[in-house]
A and B are shown apart, each in its own frame.
Chain A
């Protein structure tokens, strides 16, 4: 048997020859996963699925999975992204199918493409969120939104393990709208994505387009801002779902980060 002394151990990990980017959803009860929980589930699914993922070197090799801007614990998402390094070329459709099968229901892989420049992080500078606010009169929600949008700056304070942080929510908001009233037969709007509740009379659905800032403005911060400007305090927790991420274009839409290279835009320089 090979006797290898610690410190001299070789880790002949095969090199990365291909990178594949995945979009996946975090749905239903699995929205309570933290980013670390999601990452562990992916690492195990990669092994169960037999994906030839490349590993880091050293004594504790880890699969090469690169994450961008994970949705917070408790928030659902239809648009999470991860890039995986592979040791041989594989059809991304096979990766998509195999990973989706290996992951638990609720972590659902939706599409996969071979990575091309620019980097994934350069393809995302904003996200669109759907917030279901229950238990408040719709008019009150609309008034609060209007009040928030009328301001130039609305600062909320978030308590983090490293201390209190002041976050300007209004500056990060590229848009905030209240969806039209749901009709009685439920037509005209998308079905609820997060949570199990039905869209009832006391449900106002907000769509927020939030620019990436440091620190990140989370759905809770948007609600915090509504509370600051209009004392809006929903009696039940608001369910939040990230619907899309990408580069914000001039029309307020998000450019698909897995699509072709955006020809005219990149990340704004000097930031």
Chain B
């Protein structure tokens, strides 16, 4: 029987919360399917605020893929802010989906997308409000199966207590397989109860069921062994890889929010994966190999998204968009098509070369040349060799000067602090680089008011990267380096006044590090923090470092480990890592070699342009690099011209205007 909508109970409390519009649903292109039409119902949770979660591409893709199936339905939910959480608890209102306001606890599957580890406490909020036991071991067949996905799911051990399944890798196909398993199990009358369902899921490629693996610890606190608890369960779980992006043109109909969100644009993923090989970058490591969407595929998706959404901006997304083998044709074709239509393009671009300026000029033909962003990531040549970010300072200065001479007025430079082997001098060189950018920019543009913003994040070592063995830098060291950098930036006011500096303090990074590289013993810390009020840890106004430190001490020290043990301690080559049984395709030996190369300051090339260096992904996942050419040189598109549609009808070719 269909559960009743919780909206009548929610409605009277909405006037008492901030931004009630985020809880009412009704977004453009959202869908509500009849409850009884689907054998398997998914609630898709993005464990952060609506304004952050709604634009998330992963959720939007799975929402459409699942709703296209006749035997499935999917609705979305986001973590409610503490003001609504309190009123929901007072009024007995359960966690709900925004689409039909159905109670989350009534769904078969709760899929949760973890882009960042700092969303873990928010999962607990939603589970608790849904009336679903926090601990997977306390659930029975009436409760949803909690499936975690997203990049953080590549080490789900810290949330192993709370999730039933971690789905590794691309989600498009695995959600269908999970749906099949759940549908069949339900149709057969739920034989064997929840344990049988979990066993079947554990046999599904890409699905890791933590409860079906036993973890033993050695006397020194390290992991001794991780072993399957049932003979039907594989010893290692390999990630899923969607090969042909053109066959998965999602989202076809982007959600158009009623409330304001962080990204107000249509997004088209132009390729997935990256082999630049930046050693700090988990996304680049776990999403290999590179798979490009074709020229035609990109053109059709952009067209469909703009028509379906009415957005006036299209973002061409990927981990390094200028690296698409046909990016010049894509940007020129799209710039031609949308010239004069008030539809703008954006290209999150981090490459530092003149080619990038050409692309940026192309997508800003109508004159909006506000700021360009580059990510050198490290302040000195030496540290950039360590992290394998191959950018010379001279190239960067030349590129910035070129940008300023072309009419750009601001460059933003992204850096990290706390990198392995880093010294104060490496960080202080950021100031020198920014000074040279301003001086070169003034010379190139003939103006004094050019700006350079340096934005600095704390480095967090992540699983499945060459830096997974590294000692994380202590927040006090990071903060002290940033103080010295600020003094250096301000040392000459005539230049320093044109330099903006944005950074966060190092404390949240240490907690992110605990959650990223922790094992199952960290689950107790997460739960304790949540019970003591921890919510929205990604938001500085809600994050409490002291609470995490205190809870970590209380939960970990009786077990002989500590916050420092998990974060600032360097690992040895032969120490079993908590995620060793989860296979991202990367060879552990290759990662270790690359870590040693990093320590010696040696770079690694990109396998798209140089011979394979045997990272292991292609052979182990049965994949290969999928890059152009597409076989065509121009986008097969009708150029949209708003003035050409003056025909008296509103349904002319000007629909994109």
Distance between Cα atoms of A87 and B647 in the complex (Å): 12
Check B643 against A47 for contact (C-beta < 8 Å): no
**CB of B311 closer than 8 Å to a CB of A:** yes
Q: Check if A261 is an interface residue, CB within 8 A of chain B.
A: no
Q: How far is the CA of A48 from the CA of B60 in the complex (A)?
A: 20
A33 CB to closest chain B CB (Å) equals 5
Interface string of A34-68 (1 = CB under 8 A from B): 10110011011111111110010001110000000
Q: Which residues of A sit under 8 angstroms from B264, Cβ to Cβ?
A: 40
Residue of A nearest to B647 (CB): A88
Bound CA–CA A60/B366 (angstroms): 9
Q: Which residues of A contact B652 (CB under 8 A)?
A: 50
| Contact partner, B310, options A1, A14, A43, Cβ 8 Å | A43
Residues of chain B contacted by A40 (CB below 8 angstroms) = 258, 260, 264
If the complex has contacts A9-B367, A196-B8, are A98 and B650 also in contact, measured as CB distance less than 8 A? yes
Q: Is the CB of B310 within 8 A of A4?
A: no
Q: Which of A4, A9, A32, A94 contacts B14 (CB 8 A)?
A: A32
* B622 CB within 8 Å of chain A: no
Task: Compute how far the CA of A178 lies from the CA of B264 in the bound complex, rounded to whole angstroms.
Answer: 44
* 8 Å CB interface, B1-59 against A: 7-8, 11-12, 14-16, 20-21, 23-28
Question: Is A147 among interface residues, defined by CB-CB distance under 8 A?
Answer: no
A226 CB to closest chain B CB, in angstroms?
Answer: 17
B657 on the A face (CB < 8 A): yes
Is the pair A104, B310 in contact by a Cβ cutoff of 8 Å? no
For the complex, is B283 an interface residue (Cβ under 8 Å from A)?
no
Query: Do B368 and A50 touch across chains, with their CB atoms under 8 A apart?
Result: no
CA distance A104 to B651 in the complex (A): 19
Residue interface bits B246-281, CB-to-A below 8 A is 1, else 0 = 000000000010111000100000000000000000
Q: Which residues of B contact A94 (CB under 8 A)?
A: 649-650
Question: Counting CB contacts under 8 A, is A6 at the interface?
Answer: yes
B173 contacts partner chain A, Cβ-Cβ < 8 Å: no
Partner of A33, one of B258, B335, B362: B258
What is the CA–CA distance of A12 and B341 in the complex, to the nearest angstrom?
Answer: 11
A4-B20 contact, Cβ under 8 Å, with A52-B645, A52-B657, A88-B646 = no
B342 interfacial by beta-carbon distance below 8 Å? yes
Q: Tell me which residues from 605 to 653 in chain B have a Cβ below 8 Å from any Cβ of chain A.
A: 642-643, 645-646, 648-652
Q: Does B457 touch A at the CB level, under 8 Å?
A: no
Say whether A237 faces chain B, with CB atoms less than 8 Å apart: yes
Say yes or no for B307: interface residue by CB 8 A criterion. Answer: yes
Given known contacts A36-B260, A44-B256, is B26 in contact with A104 (CB within 8 Å)? yes
CA distance A9 to B369 in the complex (A): 10
Chain B residue numbers with a CB within 8 Å of A43 are 310, 312
Find out whether the CB atom of B365 lies under 8 angstroms from the CB atom of A104.
Answer: no
Nearest-neighbour CB distance to chain A for B54, whole angstroms, equals 13
Q: Check B650 against A6 for contact (C-beta < 8 Å).
A: no
Q: Are B307 and A48 in contact (CB under 8 A)?
A: yes
Interface residue count for A (Cβ, 8 Å)? 53
B366 touches A9 (CB 8 A): yes
Known: A37-B259, A74-B20, A236-B12. A55 touches B26 (CB 8 A): no
Which residues of the other chain, A, contact B260 by a CB distance below 8 angstroms? Answer: 36-37, 40
Q: How far is the CA of A55 from the CA of B642 in the complex (A)?
A: 12
Interface string of A111-129 (1 = CB under 8 A from B): 0000000000000000000
Distance in angstroms between the alpha carbons of A43 and B642 in the assembled complex: 16
* Given the contacts A1-B332, A33-B258, A52-B642, A47 and B310 also touching, CB distance less than 8 Å: yes
Asked if B309 is an interface residue, CB under 8 A from chain A, the answer is: yes
The reply on B408 being an interface residue by CB < 8 A is: yes
A185 to B310 Cα, complex, angstroms:
45
Q: Residues of B contacting A195 with CB < 8 Å?
A: 11
Cα–Cα, bound, A7→B461 (Å): 44
Residue among A5, A8, A50 making CB contact with B655, cutoff 8 Å: A50
> Would you call the interface of chain A mostly helix, strand, loop, or mixed?
loop
CB contact under 8 A between A49 and B256, given known A6-B408, A44-B309, A61-B342: no
Say whether, besides A3-B361, A37-B260, A48-B309, A104 and B21 are in contact (CB < 8 Å).
Answer: no
B367 touches A32 (CB 8 A): no
Distance to closest chain A CB from B578 (angstroms): 44
A residues near B369, Cβ cutoff 8 Å:
6
Pair B308/A59 contact, Cβ less than 8 Å: no
CB pair B650–A11 under 8 Å, yes or no, is no
Contact of A1 among B14, B362, B409 (CB under 8 A): B362
A82 to chain B, nearest CB (A): 16
A34 to chain B, nearest CB (A): 7
- Verify B367–A11 contact, CB threshold 8 A: yes
Contact indicator B27/A32 (Cβ below 8 Å)? no
**Measured between alpha carbons, how far is A7 from B365 in the docked complex, in Å?**
12
* B408 and A2 form a contact (CB under 8 A): no
Q: Which of B24, B310, B408, B645 has the most CB of A within 10 A?
A: B310
Q: Quick one: which of B15, B26, B650 contacts A90, CB cutoff 8 A?
A: B650
CA distance A61 to B408 in the complex (A): 19
Closest Cβ of chain B to A59, distance in Å, is 5
Please tell me if B234 contacts chain A, counting CB pairs below 8 Å: no
A7 to B447, CA, bound (A): 13
Q: Mark B291-322, 1 if CB is under 8 A from A, else 0.
A: 00000000000000011111110000000000
Bound: A6/B28 CA distance, A: 35
User: Taking each of B258, B264, B365, B656, which has the highest tally of chain A beta carbons within 10 Å of its own beta carbon?
Assistant: B258
- State in angstroms the CA–CA spacing of A60 and B313 once bound together: 12
A29 at the interface (CB under 8 A from B): yes
> Quick one: closest B residue to A106, CB to CB?
B26
Query: Taking the complex as formed, is B538 at the interface, i.e. its CB lies under 8 A from any CB of chain A?
Result: no
Q: Does A71 contact B (CB under 8 A)?
A: no
Complex contact B645–A44 (CB within 8 A): no
> Known contacts A32-B21, A90-B650; is A47 also within 8 Å of B11 by CB?
no
CB pair A52–B11 under 8 Å, yes or no, is no
Q: B643 — which chain A residues lie within 8 A by C-beta?
A: 14, 87
Q: A44-B310, A47-B306, A237-B16 are in contact. List 8 more A-B contacts (CB 8 A).
A: A1-B335, A9-B368, A29-B26, A33-B21, A37-B258, A44-B311, A50-B651, A73-B21
10 contacts between A and B (CB under 8 A): A5-B367, A12-B340, A29-B24, A30-B258, A37-B21, A37-B259, A48-B307, A48-B309, A60-B368, A104-B27
The residues of A with any CB-CB pair to B shorter than 8 Å are: 1-12, 14, 29-30, 32-34, 36-37, 40-41, 43-52, 55, 59-61, 73-74, 87-88, 90, 94-95, 98, 102, 104-106, 195-197, 236-237
Tell me the B residues contacting A by CB distance below 8 Å: 7-8, 11-12, 14-16, 20-21, 23-28, 256, 258-260, 264, 306-312, 332, 335, 340, 342, 361-362, 365-369, 406-409, 642-643, 645-646, 648-652, 654-657
